[in-house]
Amino acid sequence: MELLRVVLTSIGSVVALFILTKIIGNRQMSQVSMFDYINGITIGSIAAEMATSLSDDYIRPLIAMIVYAIVSVAFSILTSKSIKFRRILTGETLILFDQGKLFEANFKKAKLDLSEFLTQCRNSGFFNLSNIETAVLESNGKISFLPVSLQRPATPSDLNLKVQQEKLVVNIIIDGKVLKDNLKFTGKDEKWLGKQLKNQGISDVSQVFLATCDDKKDLSVYVKIKKNMSRDMFE
């Protein structure tokens, strides 16, 4: 009987969480501020407490969840109406790097380590700071980069060229396993796949870590490499 009560309250807490999440909106997932993060954890903790509580009092945690949801919605409305309140609640942007200068004070204010900043640079494709004009820490914790104009890749519009729209590639093989439905979606079969692999010197599909097919039916294959790249060049 006690286990049945836990199951029923768990279902009830999930339903309540779903409804409250719909009321709060997708902002909780897309742009997480410090307040959103804490608020989400708190509501989840209350829901867990509600699900596993052995007492018969389910109204109090439910009311607490609703209050947190109402406060979240109210704060969301206030931040959309008031710039000052938005800056207080979500924080402000900080310039970390601009025109060849690193701003140490802003790094300290953001509690951001230089090594972490350089990692973010590399993750965004910048292995040399000289290729960056400005780096800005956004209020959601992500870093935005403005590349140096001369280092920015030329776009077709820069060259007055008309290019064909690229399409998404389809995963055909993942970790040595053929995704048959995806292969069928491309209009090809396993006989074609085997021939394509053979042309690239691959005798067994188990050797393939990833294989993708584009809209032109070109197969890109990435084989498994057992050798470790253990040297850390960035610390």
**pLDDT of amino acid 229:** 57
Check which CATH number belongs to the domain holding 141 and give it: 3.30.240.20
Residue 233 lies in a domain: no
Average pLDDT over residues 120-132: 91
Together in a domain, 74 and 52: yes
**pLDDT of amino acid 146:** 92
Q: Is 123 exposed, middle or buried (0-12, 13-18, 19+ CB in 10 A)?
A: exposed
**pLDDT of amino acid 29:** 45
The total number of structural domains in the chain stands at: 3
Together in a domain, 13 and 79: yes
pLDDT, tens digit, 9 for 90 and up, residues 45-61: 777 776 666 556 667 77
**pLDDT of amino acid 209:** 92
Q: Is 2 exposed, middle or buried (0-12, 13-18, 19+ CB in 10 A)?
A: exposed
Residue 44 lies in a domain: yes
Residue 161 lies in a domain: no
Point out the domain boundary residue: 87, 119, 138: 87
Look up residue 75 and give its two tokens. Answer: 């704060």
Residue 104 lies in a domain: yes
Together in a domain, 83 and 26: yes
Residue of 123, 122, 130, 121 lying closest to 150 (CA atoms): 130
Q: Which residues contact 54 (CB under 8 A, 6 or more apart)?
A: 2, 5, 6
Together in a domain, 100 and 83: no
Residue 176 lies in a domain: yes
| Beta strand residue intervals within the chain, DSSP E | 94-98, 101-102, 132-137, 143-147, 170-174, 177-178, 208-213, 219-223
Together in a domain, 100 and 74: no
Residue 62 lies in a domain: yes
Give the structural domain span for 205: 170-223
The pLDDT of residue 199 is above 90: yes
Point out the domain boundary residue: 87, 110, 134: 87
Q: Is 72 exposed, middle or buried (0-12, 13-18, 19+ CB in 10 A)?
A: buried
The pLDDT of residue 172 is above 50: yes
Together in a domain, 80 and 100: no
The pLDDT of residue 179 is above 90: yes
Together in a domain, 139 and 183: no
Q: Please state the separation of Cα 187 from the chain's center in Å.
A: 31
Together in a domain, 71 and 115: no
If one compares 234 and 3, the residue with the highest pLDDT of the two is 3
Average pLDDT over residues 188-213: 93
Residue 142 lies in a domain: yes
Together in a domain, 70 and 31: yes
Together in a domain, 71 and 98: no
Residue 118 lies in a domain: yes
155 pLDDT band, cuts 50/70/90, is confident
211 pLDDT band, cuts 50/70/90, is very high
pLDDT, tens digit, 9 for 90 and up, residues 80-116: 777 676 666 666 789 999 988 999 999 988 888 888 9
Contact 76, 105 (CB under 8 A): no
Residue of 36, 34, 35, 6 lying closest to 21 (CA atoms): 36
Q: Going edge to edge, which strands form the sheet with 101-102?
A: 101-102, 94-98, 132-137, 143-147
Contact 96, 117 (CB under 8 A): yes
Together in a domain, 130 and 73: no
Contact 16, 62 (CB under 8 A): yes
The pLDDT of residue 121 is above 50: yes
Point out the domain boundary residue: 87, 104, 126: 87
CA dihedral 83, 85, 88, 91 (to 10 degrees): -40
The pLDDT of residue 193 is above 90: yes
Together in a domain, 76 and 106: no
